[in-house]
Amino acid sequence: MAELNLKHKELDAWIKEIAGMCKPESVYICDGSQHEYDRFMWEMVESGAAVPLNPEKRPGCYLFRSHPSDVARVENRTFIASKTKEEAGPTNNWIDPDELKTTMKNLYNGCMKGRIMYVIPFSMGPIGSPISKIGVEITDSPYVVVNMRIMTRIGTKVIDELGENGEFVKCLHSVGKPLAPGEKDVSWPCAPSIDQKYISQFPEERMIWSYGSGYGGNALLGKKCFALRIAAVQARDEGWLAEHMLILKLTGPDGNFKYVCGAFPSACGKTNLAMMEPTIPGWKVETVGDDISWMKFGKDGRLYAINPEAGFFGVAPGTSMQSNPNAMKTIQKNTIFTNVGLTDDGDVWWEGIGTPAPDHLIDWEGNDWTPDCGRNAAHPNARFTAPAYQCPVIAPEWEDPAGVPVSAILVGGRRKTTIPLVNGSLNWNHGIFLGSIMGSEITTAAITDNVGQVRRDPFAMLPFMGYHAGDYLQHWLNIGKKSDMSKLPRIYYVNWFRKNAEGKFIWPGYGENSRVLKWIVERISGTGSAVTTPIGNMPGIGDIDISGLDISESDMAELLKVDKEAWLLEIESIKENYKTYGDKLPKELAEELAKLEIALK
């Protein structure tokens, strides 16, 4: 510790304080170099934590297998420790911050014994952009370091950007598995029981403490913890938006382009949409981001978005050359795979990859696997971590520090009935209303009692709002009040997942979704037509370009129908959901709901 003497005194003092509490064997400040990354990878290969993949098939790629108890974000162990329970609201787990700190300090005390404490200075967004923010993650996991190097911009250049007193978010992480003298490490250390895991956000202090898990969103603290939960609070206080949205660039045959953001809950094909290959001739989609969008006002009064991340942490199962060819090309090299199958020739395989299952492989738990063994080769939440610059359709301006001007925001969910293929908002408040009611039908067998019910997930932010959900929606409404509404993005509610009476999807989805994007761009550009309905501005039959698509007129009519009976039931369900907000339900949203009911009757 004696050699540590950073010119940023607050950072220097914090590192020393954490080292004093966690008692690591040594402290290492990451410089972010390729050499450093390669060294950590090889150390993990040597220790048995990582498997290098066949360099002829997947150059620069590695496979990790997590502990079977540590495979996904743990929402029931995720806490918003604001000063009062009221500030965290009804949709977050709240613990008094002092009580939580006492509990966690006990866990942190000596938790890094026998391990190296890595200090990762990182920037969310291009270094130096007025929209970017800096964090420093302290962790005892080298797996976290290598993933953070792909997912964010890390190292000495970030320390330089911080200067002597730059602002940063303190992010502390430990896998929660100290080593006794001489004890051999396991390949995926983590806390032994679920109730020892804590993913804690302290919004007022802009601070994150994570303990016990080494996986994804629990451990890569720049992503959900900072870029959404803490940034949402910063955005509220500073007048901008930190959202769970993809950002894409859509260019038409005339060369004109628009930027579109999109909020979707999980299992709606968000990464696929962000990298989509349009089926309509002459149209092109390029990716700016696949998961998170930070939007701030430019001098011209428009909202400009950056992708605060530098990589993709995508779900592997289901990703194929058919569902997402550009993701498949992105992960060809320099990619970290977690919890996928390992083929006998050193490649990866997962369910839904689009190639036949090999006769034998090693599954995500490290066991022999054959197609008839009755188990999955990959965990359903297996992931790839890949650099965004490797994406063949990354937009050239994806790292523009000024961000990209947003013309439209999509909101959507997975709904087999009621919600049409696309519905345009009537105005800003109506758009926020659409964002507030979005969600997906519950399909998981884990929640059998509720199968078929809608889990409302406003702007896909339910697990990521760092404060009261009612205040969050009010912030969106206030953004409208403070600005020239004519310059704000238009909001569209889309639903790719309508089913017919036989239970089959009516709309083909994937690249065909470009037909809906085309209509949206035509609307924003003032050339597309629409009909005003009780629920919003919708395409009339014939307004969506279906040339070359094998879909009947009656199916299109079904996709674009306003099903009055179903909407009246929907209204009852929305009313029920709105009760969650108590007296924090924004009055503008109650008014929108009342207007909708009147319009439908």
Q: Point out the residues that are catalytic.
A: 268
- Which of 55, 39, 29 lies closest to 335, judged by CA? 55
Instruction: Report how far residue 587's alpha carbon sits from residue 571's, in angstroms, rounded to the nearest whole number.
Output: 16
Residue type, 196: Q
Residue sitting closest to ligand O2Y (CB)? 216
Q: Smaller CB distance to ligand O2Y: residue 200 or 343? A: 200
**CA distances in angstroms from 201 to 9, 148, 207, 226, 283, listed in the order given:** 24, 19, 6, 9, 42
Q: Is 477 helix (H, G, I), strand (E, B) or coil?
A: helix
CA dihedral sign of residues 440, 304, 238, 482? negative
Span of 118-126, 193-201, 215-223, 256-264 interacting with ligand O2Y by CB under 6 A: 215-223
Q: Rounded to whole angstroms, how far apart are CA atoms 234 and 594? A: 32
Does residue 381 interact with ligand O2Y by CB under 6 A?
yes
Q: Report which secondary-structure segment, H or E, holds 514.
A: helix 514-525
- Looking at residue 229, the DSSP 8-state letter turns out to be I
Nearer to Mn ion, 137 or 291 (CB): 291
Residue 475 within binding range of ligand O2Y, rule CB under 6 A? no
Shortest distance, position 117 Cβ to ligand O2Y, whole Å: 23
- H-helix or E-strand spanning residue 502: none
C-beta of 381 vs 407, nearer to ligand O2Y? 381
Binding residues for Mn ion, total number by CB under 5 A: 1
Beta bridge partners of residue 295, listed in sequence order: 241, 305
Q: Using CB distances below 5 to 8 A depending on partner kind, what does residue 428 bind out of ligand O2Y, Mn ion, none?
A: none
Q: Would you state the structure tokens that stand for residue 14, as one six-digit string?
A: 């914090």
Of the pair 51, 225, the CB lying nearest Mn ion is at: 225
* Nearest distance in Å: CB 215, ligand O2Y: 5
Q: Which of residues 61-80 bind ligand O2Y (CB under 6 A)?
A: 72-73
Residue 126 touches which of Mn ion, ligand O2Y, none (Cβ within 5-8 Å per kind): none
Nearer to ligand O2Y, 291 or 512 (CB): 291
Contacts of 319 (CB under 8 A, 6+ apart): 271, 327, 328, 350, 352, 353, 384
588 is in the binding site of which of Mn ion, ligand O2Y, none (Cβ under 5 to 8 A by kind)?
A: none
Q: How far is the CB of 466 from ligand O2Y (least distance, A)?
A: 15
Residue at 240: amino acid letter: W
Residue 290 in contact with Mn ion, rule: CB under 5 A: no
Tokens of residue 384, six digits:
């790839």
- The span of 188-196, 209-217, 397-405, 551-559 binding ligand O2Y (CB under 6 A) equals 209-217
Cα 64 versus chain centre, distance: 21
Backbone angles phi, psi at 225, to 5 degrees: -65, -50
Residue nearest to Mn ion (CB): 291
DSSP state, residue 473 = H
Tokens for 72, please give them.
Answer: 């996904």
Tokens of 431: 């758009």
Q: CA 242, CA 226: separation in Å to the nearest integer?
A: 10
Structure-block tokens of residue 362: 């090693």
- Given the DSSP bridges, would you call strands 336-338 and 62-64 parallel, antiparallel or unpaired? parallel
32 binds, among Mn ion, ligand O2Y, none (CB under 5 to 8 A by kind): none
Given the complex with ligand O2Y, which of 210 and 381 has the nearer CB atom? 381
Nearest to 225 by CA among 80, 355, 439, 326: 80
Least Å from the CB of residue 381 to ligand O2Y: 5
Residue 260 CB, shortest distance to Mn ion, in Å, is: 17
From start to end of 155-275, where are the E strands?
169-174, 198-202, 207-211, 241-243, 245-251, 257-263
Among ligand O2Y, Mn ion, none, partner that 318 touches (CB below 5 to 8 angstroms by kind): none
Which lies closer to ligand O2Y via its Cβ, residue 286 or residue 291?
A: 291
Interacting partner of 217 out of Mn ion, ligand O2Y, none (Cβ under 5 to 8 A depending on kind): ligand O2Y
Q: Is the Cβ of residue 73 or residue 498 nearer to Mn ion in the bound state?
A: 73
Q: How far is the CB of 339 from ligand O2Y (least distance, A)?
A: 10
Binding map of ligand O2Y across residues 431-460, x = CB under 6 A, - = no contact: ------------------------------
Residue 313 binds ligand O2Y, judged by CB under 6 A = yes
Residues 6+ apart with CB under 8 A from 32: 121, 149, 153, 154, 155, 156, 157, 158
304 makes contact, choosing from ligand O2Y, Mn ion, none, with CB < 5 to 8 Å by partner type, with: none
> CB of 274: closest distance to ligand O2Y in angstroms?
11
Minimum Å gap between C-beta 438 and Mn ion is 14
| Under 8 Å between Cβ of 132 and 399 | no
**Residue 296 binds which entry of ligand O2Y, Mn ion, none, with Cβ cut-offs from 5 to 8 Å by kind?**
none
Question: Where in 530-586 does DSSP place strands (E)?
Answer: 531-532, 537-538
Rounded-to-integer distance, Cα 493 and Cα 495, Å = 7
Decide if residue 291 touches Mn ion (CB under 5 A).
yes
Number of residues that bind ligand O2Y (CB under 6 A): 9
278 binds, among Mn ion, ligand O2Y, none (CB under 5 to 8 A by kind): none
| Rounded Cα gap, residues 280 and 547, in angstroms | 8
Length of the chain: 601
Window contacting ligand O2Y (CB under 6 A); options: 7-15, 40-48, 126-134, 214-222: 214-222
Task: Candidates 214, 217, 439, 536: give the one binding ligand O2Y (CB under 6 A).
Answer: 217
CB of 410 to ligand O2Y, least distance (A): 16
Indicate the residue among 189 and 536 with the shorter CB distance to ligand O2Y: 189
Q: Hey, which residues between 113 and 152 contact ligand O2Y (CB under 6 A)?
A: none
Question: CA 35 → CA 39, 41, 420, 437, 523, distances in Å?
Answer: 6, 10, 52, 48, 50
Q: Which of 266, 320, 417, 573 lies at the binding interface for ligand O2Y (CB under 6 A)? A: 266
Q: Pick the stretch among 54-62, 191-199, 288-296, 331-339 that binds Mn ion (CB under 5 A).
A: 288-296
Tokens linked to 2: 């004696």
Residue 313 binds which entry of ligand O2Y, Mn ion, none, CB below 5-8 Å type-dependent = ligand O2Y
Q: List residues near Mn ion by CB under 5 A.
A: 291
Interface residues toward ligand O2Y, by CB under 6 A: 72-73, 215-217, 266, 291, 313, 381
